[in-house]
Amino acid sequence: MLDKPVRSEGLDIDPVSDGYVIYDAANDRVHYLNHTAAVVLEWCNGEHTTADIARMLQDAFALDELPDEEAARCVAQLRDEGLVRVSDR
């Protein structure tokens, strides 16, 4: 099975000037995401693998090197916080 993260259900996401503020009612938790993490969360739609997300970050931010470790860490942290899960697709 490919790792295709998807945003968890039931999140109240509010864009703010420096990223997102997310309220997870199921766990009664508030999360603050910077711009990069907010972009990663948007790409966690069940269509992209973590490797795809790394390539998209490289393109979006015109990076010389592929940020594969950083993308994997970000997706893992979003998963650990309950903001994303692995897609059933």
Predicted confidence band at 1 (pLDDT cuts at 50, 70, 90)? Answer: very low
Q: Which domains are delineated in the chain? A: 5-81 (3.90.930)
- Give the closest residue to 70 by CA, choosing from 36, 32, 21: 36
Per-residue pLDDT tens over the stretch 5-17: 999 999 999 999 9
Given a cut of 90, whether residue 88 has pLDDT beyond it is: no
Give the span between the Cα atoms of 67 and 63, in whole angstroms.
8
Residue 9: burial class (beta carbons within 10 Å; 0-12, 13-18, 19+): exposed
What is the per-residue pLDDT across 30-83, written as a single tens digit (0 to 9) for each? 999 999 999 999 999 999 999 999 999 999 999 999 999 999 999 999 999 999
pTM of the entire predicted model: 0.91
